[in-house]
Structure 1
Amino acid sequence: MPMHRVVMCLFAGAITAGAAEGAGAQGLPESWSLQQVARAGQSGLPHRLRFIKYETPAVNDRGDWAIATDLGLLVNGTLLSGPQYNLPDSSVGLSERGVVAWAGSVSTGDGGIFTYDIDAGSGGWVTNGPDERFSKRNPTINSDGLIAYGGASQGFDSVNLHDLASGESRVAVQGNGSTVRIGERVVVNDAGQVAYYDAGGSQRGMQRLEPDGSTTFMYVPGNWSNREWFWMNDNGHVAALPDQDQIWRTTDDGPELMVGSFSGPGSQLFRSLELEPPSINNQGWVSFRAELEDRSDSLFLTDGDDFAAVALEGDLVRTDLGWGRIDSINAIPTNLNNRGELLVLADVRLLGGGHVNDVLFFATVPSPGWTGLALATLLTAERRRR
């Protein structure tokens, strides 16, 4: 077992060496800058947000971001409100071309899939799916406009696809309640592959539907009590939390244990893993939330060799209400882009007194030559003293 180095600096901006997948892959960032982009109760929006939905963040490599709120969909700081933007508690899809996909409601109350094109500034309903009586869940969208989502057909869970270009909707995998039992999370990548969990049949576990219609079984150890907690990158590799204490990454050579709170990588650092989907980018980096040994919240990345802290409970952050410290980290990390950036939803305790819920930060990786070195040195030293 290799030694696992923990990187815990805020803004230094250097890059560490580490194992990663794909051509041109690089080591984990050593630092992130947490920049507030929204918060519950913030003025300046058409209406005052009461809360931001922690299950729903999405970002892409362009720096676009989207997340659901109690009032509608928040995209790059703009609130899209209306009946179709009243999202259920499911994830939001965001393509590298800036198209958002989500499951919403139409005026009749039936569930449907909606999209919004950030560049065009427009969007709307695209499909009710194969059976409008059943809810649509967790849509994802790739750069070609292919939307994949969980839903139901013929009374059973199914993997459903919708092509924005052609307008065609179809059932890609039909469940039957016995030998084929589809989970709610369905992930499509830019290669046109679709990952889902099948709880039935002789090969119970992660499946990958290929563009030619064939299916590839991806073995991940565990009892899979958490059937929805996975993500897939454009290389067709999955990061999954099948049990409460282990995160695995699939590779072309088989599964690789990335994090283990009881044993394995990170076991001396993490007390427990948060029961939610990890994420994986094309570098092979995996993001996850965990409780540290001192019971504090944390958001980490790992590449299989190193662990890098994106955000920790107690970190000093700047909000529109002043400086404060992260009191808890809430958003699930299913929104990692290929630079290692993601949204962080946190509660903050202000230094001057007071507590602010649901502050949304975009954790960005500073470019080389960033000029905040003096502040970075101060904050990094303060962080390590805790």
Structure 2
Amino acid sequence: MKHRALVDRNPLFAALGTLLLAAPALAALPEYTFLLQARTNMVGNGSGAYNLEPGALLSGSYTLPITKDRRVGFTLAITPEGSPSLWYGVEGKGERIYTLPSTDPDVRMGDPSLDSRGNVVFAVTGASVDTTENGIYLLNVDDPKQVRVIREPLGASYWSSLVLNEAQQFAARARVGNGNAYALYTPREGRYEATLLAKDRTLDAASPYTYLYSPNLNDLGQLVAAVDLQSYTTEWFQELRVWNPDGTSHLIAESRGRDSSSSIYRFASVQPALNNQGQVAFLASLRDASGKQSTALFLWDGAELKTLAQDGQGDIKELELFPPDINDQGLVVFRAFRADGLRAVWVSDGASLKPVVTEHDLLPSDLGSARVDQETPSNPVFGGAPMINDRGDISFCAGLAPPKDDQEEWGSAIYVAQSSFVPPGESDGGVEPDAGSGNPAPSEPGSPSGCGCQAAASAALWPWALLGLLRLARSRRAQSQ
């Protein structure tokens, strides 16, 4: 299904769209093999844990960022020491690399975000005993004890939806006083300069926005998010926009309260996803003439708005309200129930979709073959939001049990579903299977804490090359006028 969407007619974005949408098309959806990264478990469970101590547990809702070279990070909300920790690993190895040095019972560590240089950012909030503990924490896995804390903009006390890109920028929704703003942090001469791309009306009376939802960021410093423009009545008055680093923005889609021809009743409050081609994946609610609501997953492909999946349509029974993710090849990963009622993690290329892993599937683990299952059928077998990198690899978390006994808990396991795709111009620096564990062995020995400096090549530099092409296009346009 295709829908009408609005885009800015600014020639700057027309040029950017022309340049960025020249991404290689994929011939088919990838095939996947599964690599166990870590397994959490309660203290006292005989099955123990993997790459973790028993008693180190994930939070209730989380994201699992994965870089192009398959580095994975996540936050442990509960640890044997009591303080939250950061876990980091690659190719089946990993460990806790940083534990928050705080005794404050209210302090919280947010989800991390990673780049391929080994940089990690996460927000620390809720500290009341010592409020100076609150802030955006930036570290590198080569020396994780060296932590930089950023508390910009002035007056900020809370940061959420923190995302780091390959240009070493990061963005967040920042609470400033009683209001909120979208803040973009850019490295400049040894410091981070915070630019407020949008503010809500509490922070700026002249703002058109009454509420700012969770944002996301791409490698070009562009931020995507849904916003409210006025209070709900019988309709939602919302827009989905992309902001540029200079504060200008363009409209992607809007709710039917703003445009009666729109099929969108309301945008989901979870993060939309934005790639470097300008494509946007997002969840939204629809409402038919009888008032019945359903959820749909949309893709703005740069020219039109498409429906990738919808409740009750085709192989999808019901979409789950977790953020989708999209890579530069246009592959979208999301969570949804299959038509038979089983939960699954899915991938779509915009034309077709398929489940990557489904409830009751058998996966390799450190304990041998393991079943994706829970002891109570109504409990979700997947946790948090899956994410996808530019290879098409997908990170996800699943509850495990022995193949023939779903009443025995093997804890929650973080996996990388390794794609069969190899990025153009790259050899598969992958891994050979380890017959003993069912896991691939690492392609290089040693700790996951190495910076992997070779990863700072094309993935980090190509956005700047595109910006250079954009400047050239603008220059030529100016000369022709």
Q: Is TM more than 0.5 here?
A: yes
Q: Which residue of 1 aligns with 2:425?
A: none
Q: Which residue of 1 aligns with 2:251?
A: 217
Are the equivalent residues in 2 in contact too, given 1:26–1:283 (CA < 8 A)?
Answer: yes
Question: Do residues 108 (structure 1) and 130 (structure 2) align?
Answer: yes
2:66 counterpart (45, 50, 59):
59
Question: Do residues 315 (structure 1) and 361 (structure 2) align?
Answer: yes
Matches within 5 A, 1:158-169: 158-165=181-188, 166-169=191-194
Q: Which residue of 2 aligns with 1:304?
A: 350
Given residue 56 of structure 2, which amino acid in structure 1 is its aligned partner? L
Deviations 1:147-201 (A, max 9, x none): 1000122421110122244322232222214731343422221112111222116
Matches within 5 A, 1:1-386: 22-41=22-41, 42=49, 45=52, 48-51=55-58, 54-70=61-77, 71=79, 72-76=85-89, 77-83=94-100, 88=108, 90-105=110-125, 108-109=130-131, 111-119=134-142, 121=144, 123-130=146-153, 134-165=157-188, 166-177=191-202, 179-200=208-229, 204-219=238-253, 221-243=263-285, 244-262=294-312, 267-327=313-373, 328-351=380-403, 353=405, 354-366=408-420
Distance 1:23 1:237, change over 3 A: closer
Are the equivalent residues in 2 in contact too, given 1:46–1:79 (CA < 8 A)?
Answer: no
Residues of 2 paired with 1:276 and 1:351: CA distance? 27
Residues of 2 paired with 1:50 and 1:143: CA distance? 29
**Larger proportion of strand:** 1
Are the equivalent residues in 1 in contact too, given 2:284–2:296 (CA < 8 A)?
Answer: yes
Given residue 257 of structure 1, which amino acid in structure 2 is its aligned partner? T
Unaligned runs of 5+ residues in structure 1 are: 3-20, 373-386
Are the equivalent residues in 2 in contact too, given 1:52–1:67 (CA < 8 A)?
Answer: no
Q: Among all aligned residue pairs of Structure 1 and Structure 2, give the percentage whose two residues are the same amino acid.
A: 19
Distance 1:215 1:51, change over 3 A: closer
Residues of 2 paired with 1:248 and 1:162: CA distance? 28
Residues of 1 paired with 2:220 and 2:382: CA distance? 31
Distance 1:194 1:123, change over 3 A: farther
Distance 1:182 1:62, change over 3 A: farther
Given residue 282 of structure 1, which amino acid in structure 2 is its aligned partner? D
Are the equivalent residues in 2 in contact too, given 1:28–1:302 (CA < 8 A)?
Answer: no
Given residue 254 of structure 1, which amino acid in structure 2 is its aligned partner? E
Are the equivalent residues in 2 in contact too, given 1:40–1:52 (CA < 8 A)?
Answer: no
Distance 1:88 1:222, change over 3 A: farther
After superposition, the CA RMSD in angstroms is 2.9
Are the equivalent residues in 2 in contact too, given 1:246–1:257 (CA < 8 A)?
Answer: yes
Report the CA distance between 1:322 and its aligned residue: 2.4
Residues of 2 paired with 1:234 and 1:84: CA distance? 36
Are the equivalent residues in 2 in contact too, given 1:28–1:308 (CA < 8 A)?
Answer: no
Distance 1:65 1:87, change over 3 A: farther
Are the equivalent residues in 1 in contact too, given 2:63–2:385 (CA < 8 A)?
Answer: no
Secondary structure of 2:329's aligned partner: coil
Are the equivalent residues in 1 in contact too, given 2:238–2:267 (CA < 8 A)?
Answer: no
Residues of 2 paired with 1:130 and 1:211: CA distance? 16
Secondary structure of 1:252's aligned partner: coil
Given residue 255 of structure 1, which amino acid in structure 2 is its aligned partner? L
Report the CA distance between 1:213 and its aligned residue: 2.6
Are the equivalent residues in 1 in contact too, given 2:225–2:271 (CA < 8 A)?
Answer: no
Report the CA distance between 1:366 and its aligned residue: 4.1
Given residue 34 of structure 1, which amino acid in structure 2 is its aligned partner? F
Secondary structure of 2:247's aligned partner: coil
Deviations 1:83-138 (A, max 9, x none): 26998475432224332211114772453111222355454233113255632101
Distance 1:224 1:118, change over 3 A: farther
Residues of 2 paired with 1:83 and 1:284: CA distance? 36
Are the equivalent residues in 2 in contact too, given 1:286–1:302 (CA < 8 A)?
Answer: yes
Higher alpha-carbon deviation: 347-356 or 233-242: 347-356
Distance 1:122 1:335, change over 3 A: farther
